[in-house]
Structure 1
Amino acid sequence: MRGLLADAAVPESRGAASLHRFSPGSIRAALDAGWTADELLAALRGLSERPLPQPLEYLVGDVARRHGHVRVRPAGACLVLDEALSEEVLRTRTLRPLGLARLAPTVLTSPADPDTVLRALRTAGYFPVREDDTGALVVERRETRLAEPDPRPVARDVVTPEALATRLIAAGVGHQLPASPTAAVLGSLNPRLDRDELDLLADALDHRRDVRITYSDRNGTISHRVVTPEQVMHRWLVAWCHLRDDEREFTVENILDVAPPL
Structure 2
Amino acid sequence: MLNAPATTPKPAPFDGGAPFATDTEEIVAGWAKRLPYSDVRLLAHAIDAGQAITVEYVTVSGNRSVRTLSRLTLDPPFLEAWCHLRDAERVFTLSRIHGVMSAGFALG
What TM-score, normalized to structure 2?
0.74
How many angstroms apart in 2 are the aligned matches of 1:192 and 1:179? 19
User: Which residue does the alignment assign to 1:246?
Assistant: 88
Conserved 8 A contact 1:229-1:237:
no
Structure with more relative contact order (C-alpha pairs < 8 Å, separation 6 or more):
2
SS at match of 1:179: coil
Displacement of 1:177: 6.7
- Structure 1 residues 1-262: aligned runs within 5 Å: 178-262=20-104
2:54 aligned partner, one-letter code: R
Displacement of 1:229: 4.5
Displacement of 1:232: 1.7
Moved over 6 A (4+): none
Displacement of 1:228: 1.1
Displacement of 1:258: 0.3
Conserved 8 A contact 1:183-1:198:
yes
- Cα deviation 1:189-216 (Å, max 9, x = unaligned): 0111111101110111111101110000
1:189 aligned partner, one-letter code: W
How many angstroms apart in 1 are the aligned matches of 2:63 and 2:84? 18
Q: Which runs of 5+ in 2 are unaligned?
A: 4-17
Conserved 8 A contact 2:72-2:80:
yes
- Cα deviation 1:41-99 (Å, max 9, x = unaligned): xxxxxxxxxxxxxxxxxxxxxxxxxxxxxxxxxxxxxxxxxxxxxxxxxxxxxxxxxxx
Q: Give the number of aligned pairs.
A: 88
User: Which residue does the alignment assign to 2:6?
Assistant: none
Displacement of 1:178: 3.2
**Sequence identity percentage:** 31
How many angstroms apart in 2 are the aligned matches of 1:206 and 1:179? 12
How many angstroms apart in 2 are the aligned matches of 1:213 and 1:236? 14
Rg (Cα) greater in structure: 1
